[in-house]
Amino acid sequence: MKTLLSFVFILICTSQLISLNQAHSIKCIVKKNPNISYMYKQNFSECIDGENLVGQYESIIIEAQNSGLDLDLGQISTFLAQNSKNLRFLALDLSGNGLAAADIEKFSKEVGQLENLENLLLEFGNNQIENLGFLEEMLPQNLENLVLDFQNNRFGFGGGLKGFENLEKLNSFQLVLASNQVEIEEFFGFFEVFQGMKGLETLEIDISHNKIGDLGSFLQAFEAESLGNLVKFQLDMRNIDFLEMGEGDGEDGENQQTQKLAHILDKMGKLEIVYLKFDYSNFLGNFEDLADLFAVVGGNVKQVNLSLNDLYLDSFEFLAQSLGQLKKQVKKLSVLANNSIDKKVEKFEKIVEVIKNSQFTLEKIILQVQNSLADGTDLGEIFDQIGNYKQLQHLELNFGYTRDLKGFDKLSQSMKKLENVSDFEFYCKQCFQIEFENLAESIYNWLNQKSQVKTMALDLSETLRQVLTDNSAQKYADQFFGKAFQVQNSNLETLSIDFSHNTRVENYRFLGKAFEKLEDLKQFKLVIQNSILGDISQVAEILSKQDELFQLTIDFSHSIAESLEPLGQIVKNLGNLSQLELSLGYMGLQDLEFLRFALQNKEFFGTFVLQAEFNNVKSLGFLREAFAGSYNLRNFNLNLLGNVGIEDLSPLANCLQNVESFSELNLNLAYQNEDQIDYSPLNQLLYKLYENEVEFTFSGGLISPDEEGISQNYYQQQNTLIKTYFQKNQQQKRVANGQQSKNTYYLGNLVKLQKRFLFKKGEIQLQECDQMDYSCADCSQKIGENCENCLGNLQPSECSVCADGYFQKNEQCLTCNTVIGQCSECQNGFTCSSCFEGYELNEFNFCQQKNSEIQNCLYMNEEGSSCLQCSTGYQLTQESGNKIQVCQKQECSVQSLEGCSFCPLYSQSENDEKNKCLECSSNYNLMENGECQKNEEDEDEDEDGEYVEDDDNKSHYIVIIILGSLFVLCMIAAIIYSCYLKKKKLKQNQMTEYEDDENLRCSLQGGNSNRESNVSE
């Protein structure tokens, strides 16, 4: 799997790659795994065996990260020598293979002889390399793009850095020295690294997460005159810890180093893009030494990204001074200063002043000052200035953890001016007393004009936890959601809202109408944690109509809802849904049956994530019919941690049988009562994964393997196949070399050692197998004699015939449900003999849903004799004299709620013990206090408090009825009389036509008689 660096490097080299002839390119992925598909090789020689292009290659890519191999770099070196004349692109990833500098020397010499090499990517991270002396002979003079990744090695830099002085043609250079395993006293030899790079335009250096004694030589390197053509510069110095200084140095030593840091940009006269990352590195002090950071280059810079999180600065003054040196050419500005300063108003005013007085022509603004602003900060001037950036396309603001922010009326006015913004992100977590009305007006104005906003993210979590009055929280929520998105024909396609922990909001009915006018949503995320949701059917109804929606994320964890059945309806109705993520942990759920029919026939499903930890779910039956047609499913994540009643895992294995391949499969099952859980169905599932490069995380269950011979290299966290978490107690058996909280296995490495997992009831073993394609799950058992569990869905013992519930096709055993929906057993792919629960065979041997005789029942049992779950608003009730439970409407427990027709289970107010009504009977109106009041138009109240009907109203009704009856009678009489006239006229017309016909007939007869008499004569 390519790392991020590979991706960046390939992007840099796109222009060169386009011109390469594919026939003259080779890509080799080395894995010691004989059962993996054809594109993976056991060693490098297999990459070139049978090829006749030796000496012709222009591009070579070798990926062998974490391969567990004793790589013969000499063989690769020989091959490179044979291709020295034509090779232009070389990418080699040997990360995580235990290499030392001595292993690379011969290889480095051959690379240095590649005269025409233009692009070189070397990823040697997570090895045992002590120095970089081999680079002196490795770097060809004609290089144009160079990426060197040596993170997580053992550098002391005693040997220095050489070999860079002749790279005059180098255009792009990326060097990663992050997370060293030893302390770096000084970067010896670094001063001359850039001296010869006269054509360098892009430079990216990463020395983050290190302990360093002296940065002097490192910082002096940026004084090189050759950096005068640099266009892009990125320096990552996050989490730098200085070693203890010698006597007399201390704080003065750090100050000297930061003073040198202030001048690193001075020689970069053509610089346009600057990325500086200083998070968690407190050696910067108050940023005072960097106050003139942009003094020299400020006139040319177009893009600035400063990451200053968790620095605990005393003031924004010097940061503001440095930003003030930037000129109007700046188009993109990003300042991340979360948790970085004492919360005082006057210290943020310096930043406000710079932005207010700037002449920037900004197209992108990212300003994050979470937990860095004082309560009561007025943002009006910033919002007002933002409205002047007519070309603005991306706006991201984070003012989290600040109480009583002011100035949102200016934001509303500014948004009317911005017509080009396509992305808007606003994060204000725990911003108590925020101006909701003005914020809603701002969003409405923005969406209502001809704006280009397609993506919007809002974090308003914990904003209504503390309010002045009991009902103001509900008022603000109703105001905001009742206004913000009520825009017809907006361009909004992606919407993310976090409204969690607003516990003073008592009902969420406003969600039903909040999004009804957003008709073109493609991605939607709704997070409402730790809240009393009540009835969610209305919002479900709206989302079900989003025909274009393909990505849906819902997070209701720690919340209470009447029923999650509407969620199932959403999933079922969204025909284009390809990514579904549901977080439903800690909700007290008894089952997940609402998903039983929702996950069927999802042709486009690619990602499914269900987090339902610590509920009371006791069955995976809801998965049995799922994903039958989801052949594109690649990512599956199921978290049922803490649901201790689950014992049968067969529905999980069955629902994924027909998925062709995975890229990620994560299972987090109950870790209590492991001895009761039968893990054996996972044998079938894992058996398919041995042929795919897939990440498989498995949490829960006892492991008792014999780990002898497995080296520490197998316990890395990248490209993982199996991660096993030990979360229960210290008594569990842990693997050798693995006295850590978790252990990671690579499937390819296990196969190399002829090892395979065996899942059984109550335990998981790691066995040695002579044949890795052995079709018996237990390698110690013999096929045809005592094999209890056959792989490949074969019948036990013989392992040659498909098991029940499967049929054979193309030498594979497929589930009957693949071609016959809801079929549990079949003889072939066309005739079903048994159906899943809730379905029955029809006359054509297909499965159809059983008809329930119990009204308002959602799910029946397998026999169809009793109801398992009622529809929303109904509950199972045992009627007297009736053995069968029926579904009755939930009644209010408080008799005083006169006229209430629907009082749900979780509608109790936090401050009032009586239930609140959510739906009233006819002739009643629902009041704000949750009570039902009769319509005043129909009834008046007498002196005793009894309701009596008005006699005048009765008279009016009688007169209206009489007049209406007379009108109807007149209309009927008129219709009858009209019909009589039409009939009479029709009869007269018929008589006239008859007389005319008779006269004509007589005339014809008279003519004939005359002709006959003439003939006789």
| 279 has a pLDDT exceeding 90 | yes
Q: Residue 55 and residue 57: Cα distance in Å, rounded?
A: 6
Q: What is the mean pLDDT of residues 123-141?
A: 88
Token digits for 776?
């018996």
Give 587's pLDDT tier (boundaries 50, 70, 90). Answer: very high
* 144-180: b (≥16 Cβ within 10 Å) or e: bbbbbbbbbbebebebbbbbbeebebbbbbbbbbbbb
Looking at residue 785, its pLDDT comes to 67
Ranges 296-305, 532-541, 990-999: which has the least confidence: 990-999
| 872 has a pLDDT exceeding 80 | no
Q: What is the mean pLDDT of residues 191-218?
A: 89
Q: What is the mean pLDDT of residues 921-945?
A: 65
**Which of 494-508, 657-671, 848-862, 880-894 is modeled with the greatest confidence?**
494-508
| 961 has a pLDDT exceeding 90 | no
Q: Residue 167 and residue 179: Cα distance in Å, rounded?
A: 27
Looking at residue 686, its pLDDT comes to 73
Looking at residue 957, its pLDDT comes to 64
Cβ(487)–Cβ(516) below 8 Å: no
What SS3 state is found at 425?
strand
Helices within 113-240 (DSSP H only): 216-220
Q: How far is CA 986 from the centre of its chain?
A: 77
pTM of the model as a whole? 0.71
Looking at residue 121, its pLDDT comes to 94
Looking at residue 500, its pLDDT comes to 94
Cβ(219)–Cβ(264) below 8 Å: yes
Cβ(474)–Cβ(506) below 8 Å: yes
Q: How far is CA 36 from CA 96, 368, 824, in A?
A: 20, 46, 31
Give 1013's pLDDT tier (boundaries 50, 70, 90). Answer: very low
| 590 has a pLDDT exceeding 80 | yes
Looking at residue 579, its pLDDT comes to 95
Which DSSP string corresponds to 444-508?
A: HHHHHSS----EEEEE-TTTTSS-SSTTHHHHHHHHHHHHTT--TT----EEEEE-TT-TT----
What SS3 state is found at 443?
helix
pLDDT in tens, 501-534: 998 888 888 888 888 888 889 999 999 999 999 8
pLDDT in tens, 343-370: 665 567 888 888 888 888 899 999 999 9
Looking at residue 915, its pLDDT comes to 52
Pairing relationship of beta strands 560-561 and 455-459 according to DSSP bridges: unpaired
Q: What is the mean pLDDT of residues 956-966?
A: 76
Scan for tokens 């993210």, then name that residue.
457
pLDDT in tens, 613-653: 999 998 898 988 788 777 788 888 899 888 887 888 888 88
| 727 has a pLDDT exceeding 60 | no
Higher pLDDT, 211 or 469: 211
| 946 has a pLDDT exceeding 80 | no
Ranges 24-38, 61-75, 958-972: which has the least confidence: 24-38
Looking at residue 706, its pLDDT comes to 37
The strand pairing partners of 82, in sequence order, are none
> Virtual CA dihedral for 344, 347, 348, 352, nearest 10 degrees?
150
Residue 559 corresponds to which amino acid?
S
Burial class (CB in 10 A: 0-12, 13-18, 19+), 899: middle
| 22 has a pLDDT exceeding 60 | no
Closest to 243 (Cα-Cα) out of 289, 205, 186, 190:
186
Looking at residue 15, its pLDDT comes to 32
Give 396's pLDDT tier (boundaries 50, 70, 90). Answer: very high
Looking at residue 670, its pLDDT comes to 63
**Which of 4-18, 178-192, 945-959, 998-1012 is modeled with the greatest confidence?**
178-192
| 672 has a pLDDT exceeding 70 | no
> Virtual CA dihedral for 746, 747, 753, 754, nearest 10 degrees?
160
Closest to 664 (Cα-Cα) out of 697, 687, 642, 686:
697
Q: Residue 195 and residue 225: Cα distance in Å, rounded?
A: 7
**Which of 62-66, 124-128, 830-834, 963-967 is modeled with the greatest confidence?**
124-128
Q: What is the mean pLDDT of residues 726-731?
A: 27
Q: What percent of the chain has pLDDT over 70?
A: 69
Which DSSP string corresponds to 786-798?
A: T--SBSTTBPTTT
Cβ(412)–Cβ(447) below 8 Å: no
DSSP single-letter state for residue 481: H
Cβ(891)–Cβ(903) below 8 Å: yes
Higher pLDDT, 809 or 806: 806
Give 5's pLDDT tier (boundaries 50, 70, 90). Answer: very low
Looking at residue 988, its pLDDT comes to 66
Q: Residue 20 and residue 12: Cα distance in Å, rounded?
A: 15
**Which of 84-88, 392-396, 892-896 is modeled with the greatest confidence?**
392-396
pLDDT in tens, 835-853: 877 677 877 677 766 766 6
Residue 58 corresponds to which amino acid?
E
pLDDT in tens, 229-238: 999 999 999 9
Q: What is the mean pLDDT of residues 371-400?
A: 91
Sign of the dihedral defined by the CA atoms of residues 13, 16, 21, 24, in that order: negative
Cβ(300)–Cβ(329) below 8 Å: yes
Pairing relationship of beta strands 940-941 and 947-948 according to DSSP bridges: antiparallel
Q: Residue 74 and residue 103: Cα distance in Å, rounded?
A: 9
Give 169's pLDDT tier (boundaries 50, 70, 90). Answer: very high
Q: What percent of the chain has pLDDT over 90?
A: 21
| 18 has a pLDDT exceeding 80 | no
> Virtual CA dihedral for 882, 884, 887, 892, nearest 10 degrees?
50
Q: What is the mean pLDDT of residues 759-788?
A: 76
What SS3 state is found at 81?
helix
Give 3's pLDDT tier (boundaries 50, 70, 90). Answer: very low
Across the chain, what does the average pLDDT equal? 75
Q: Residue 911 and residue 504: Cα distance in Å, rounded?
A: 10
Scan for tokens 């009793």, then name that residue.
866
Q: Residue 154 and residue 184: Cα distance in Å, rounded?
A: 9
Looking at residue 460, its pLDDT comes to 95
Scan for tokens 């400020």, then name that residue.
298
What SS3 state is found at 889?
strand
Cβ(793)–Cβ(818) below 8 Å: no
**Which of 154-158, 260-264, 698-702 is modeled with the greatest confidence?**
260-264
| 47 has a pLDDT exceeding 50 | yes
Closest to 746 (Cα-Cα) out of 708, 717, 777:
717
Looking at residue 1002, its pLDDT comes to 46
pLDDT in tens, 60-118: 888 777 665 555 677 777 777 777 777 889 888 888 777 777 778 888 888 988 888 99
